[in-house]
Structure 1
Amino acid sequence: MSDLLRPSIRIPAVCAELLTHVRQAPPLTHCITNAVVTGFTANVLLAVGASPAMVDIVGEAGVFARIASGLLINLGTPSPEQRAASLEAAAGANAAATPWVLDPVAVGALPVRTALAADLVGMRPTAVRGNASEILALAGSGAGGRGVDALDDSDAALGAARSLATRFGAVVAVSGAVDLITDGTRVIRIANGDPLLTRVTGGGCALGALMAAFLGAARDHDADALEAVSAATLVYTLAAEHAARVADGPGSFAVGLLDALAGIDPADVTAEARVDENLGHVEEEAK
């Protein structure tokens, strides 16, 4: 890690504030997500204090995106109706200035979702979340991974993430052993988390929904999109650490993650965060 990075004080503080706001005024979080993870995603949002709504029907998705606090579009199982609903919801969110997150699951390797992801990223999401292989593929720098599995680490996708952020005005979050979040200039790295997150179906997908919730909460408070996405990542990965301490394996971890999200305290965030923040010298860091 570059010596241009320093421990971040701002991100844990913003995270603690936004976590409090999420619980005091639950953001209505509109999710168009894949069939495998719908229940888990809703439970993650409920556990942290947000209000989930799984609205993925053509004719309703655009309407609901206009009234939601935040929107997630996840391409895990893109049926024909869900593909149309995703485009409708993105247009509705843009019309109402609703922040939205694109999760381009398994792009690069599979043609239908790859084409859809290209259309959606062109609609300028507030944030894009994926593993390194997905971010590389979305930026045109790689062929994707094996489905949802990443074949690259997060730092391998830094250039691609910066490119996407600059071209489309989005915050780009790359999930990995160390999560990397950038707006094209600033770079945040979060080293919290636990490998058991990769052993639970929906571990990454639910994080995208949490980002949408925190972006919704940030609209009415003093936090920008980079800070909101980083805050969601920090809450989620820190909760994973708490859950892993008492888990016997993936099954008890999944249940424990919900309990940890419900029980995590803003003071835990500021005390236990492992966050480093680039000062804006991205070109020097890349050398």
Structure 2
Amino acid sequence: MTHPNTPTLDDLAAALDALRAQTPLVQSLTNIVSANFLTNVLLAAGASNAHIDNVHEAGGFARLAGGVLINLGTPDDGTAAAFTAAAEAAHDAGIPWVLDPVGVGGLPWRTGLAADLLKYRPTAIRGNASEIIALAGRGGDTRGVDSADEAAAAIPSALALLTHADAVSASGPVDYLVGRDGNGGVAGLRIAGGSAMLPRVTSTGCSLGGLVAAYLAVAPTPLIGLAAAHTHVAVASEIAEENSSGPGSFAVAYLDALFTVDTDTLRSRARIEAFHPVEKDEN
């Protein structure tokens, strides 16, 4: 039996309408590889971005943003301090923030940094399966920023991370999402689709984290915001693959598709399925 508060297509369509109506401002503290593409993704989807990652301004700006992304892709001592300042400020001000634990598990220093950031209770955690498993302290096998685990294998770890966050996702050919409903219940959602071209273009995963932050700023619950971002990406990337011939043309077509996806497209192409995350998932 699925949870009665599992997000529906109506919820996701309403979140897309809200994103376009409100144009939320995301503060991104992200890696040097992804900053430009992430900004373009947010602008195309209907949000906006400010890349504020210095320790002098990160905390203050986090209090003004609609949502905050903290991405651990290329951390150093300065950005680590900025991560902490932004996470603490967002938590204290009630601003939703996303932790994207890039490379956690394979690199001890950033793994410890990610664990320290959990004390500021991210609204959502988004990573690949290996990163989610490692962040929960259950192992995890990473190859750089790539996952060596299937997303379904991360469900127990994602559930464990709900001690620190309201919603958690593990990305893969099928994305698995879990989240709390505010009344102690836990809901789960599978999101299929997407494109095999996504990992052929840098920062598509990192930009998903930014889109999650944007949707969290307008959605009624963290799980709806997380699911809306994943679904928007899955649908747009499928459309982009249909209109491209390789990674270069896919990147351009992906931005176009993020822009043109509307609620009718979302309803007709989204492949979402509720599941009970407390029980062992066999799929």
TM-score range, shorter chain: over 0.9
Q: 2:171 aligns with which of 147, 172, 175?
A: 175
Q: Give the paired residue count.
A: 277
Q: Is the 8 A contact 1:41 1:205 kept in 2?
A: yes
Give the equivalent residue in structure 1 for 2:192. Answer: 191
Q: 1:232 aligns with which of 229, 233, 239?
A: 229
Q: Report the Cα offset of residue 12 of structure 1.
A: 1.8
Q: Is the 8 A contact 2:194 2:238 kept in 1?
A: yes
Give the equivalent residue in structure 1 for 2:206. Answer: 205
| 1:69 maps onto 2:66 in alignment | yes
Give the equivalent residue in structure 1 for 2:81. Answer: 84
Counterpart residue identity of residue 31, structure 2: N
Q: Is the 8 A contact 2:42 2:211 kept in 1?
A: yes
Q: Describe the SS at the equivalent of 2:245.
A: coil
Give the equivalent residue in structure 1 for 2:183. Answer: none
Counterpart residue identity of residue 176, structure 1: G
TM-score by length of 2: 0.94
Q: Report the Cα offset of residue 196 of structure 1.
A: 0.4
Q: Is the 8 A contact 2:66 2:96 kept in 1?
A: yes
Give the equivalent residue in structure 1 for 2:215. Answer: 214
Counterpart residue identity of residue 199, structure 2: T
Unaligned runs of 5+ in 1: none
Q: Report the Cα offset of residue 74 of structure 1.
A: 0.1
Q: Report the Cα offset of residue 66 of structure 1.
A: 0.3
Q: Report the Cα offset of residue 283 of structure 1.
A: 2.5
1:29/1:228 CA distance change after superposition, 3 Å: same
| 1:247 maps onto 2:244 in alignment | yes
Counterpart residue identity of residue 108, structure 1: G
Give the equivalent residue in structure 2 for 1:35. Answer: 32
Q: Is the 8 A contact 1:26 1:49 kept in 2?
A: yes
Whole-angstrom distance in 2 between the partners of 1:55 and 1:189? 33
Percent identical pairs in the alignment equals: 46
| 1:101 maps onto 2:98 in alignment | yes
Q: Report the Cα offset of residue 182 of structure 1.
A: 0.3
| Runs of 4+ residues over 6 Å off in structure 1 | none
Whole-angstrom distance in 2 between the partners of 1:13 and 1:216? 18
Counterpart residue identity of residue 119, structure 2: G
Whole-angstrom distance in 2 between the partners of 1:77 and 1:9? 34
Q: Report the Cα offset of residue 91 of structure 1.
A: 0.6
Cα deviation per residue 1:115-167 (whole Å; 9 max; x = unaligned)?
A: 100001222100000000001110111144011110011001111111111x2
Whole-angstrom distance in 2 between the partners of 1:156 and 1:69? 32
1:285/1:155 CA distance change after superposition, 3 Å: closer
1:159/1:286 CA distance change after superposition, 3 Å: farther
Q: Describe the SS at the equivalent of 1:102.
A: strand
User: CA RMSD, aligned part only?
Assistant: 1.8
Q: Is the 8 A contact 1:11 1:231 kept in 2?
A: no
Counterpart residue identity of residue 218, structure 2: A
Whole-angstrom distance in 2 between the partners of 1:58 and 1:168? 24
Q: Is the 8 A contact 2:140 2:149 kept in 1?
A: no
TM-score by length of 1: 0.92
Q: Report the Cα offset of residue 64 of structure 1.
A: 0.5
Q: Is the 8 A contact 2:70 2:99 kept in 1?
A: yes
1:5/1:199 CA distance change after superposition, 3 Å: farther
1:93/1:162 CA distance change after superposition, 3 Å: same
Bigger share in helix: 1
**Where do residues 94-133 of structure 1 align in structure 2 (5 Å cutoff)?**
94-133=91-130
Whole-angstrom distance in 1 between the partners of 2:10 and 2:22? 18
Q: Describe the SS at the equivalent of 1:282.
A: coil
Q: Describe the SS at the equivalent of 1:114.
A: helix
Q: Report the Cα offset of residue 11 of structure 1.
A: 2.6
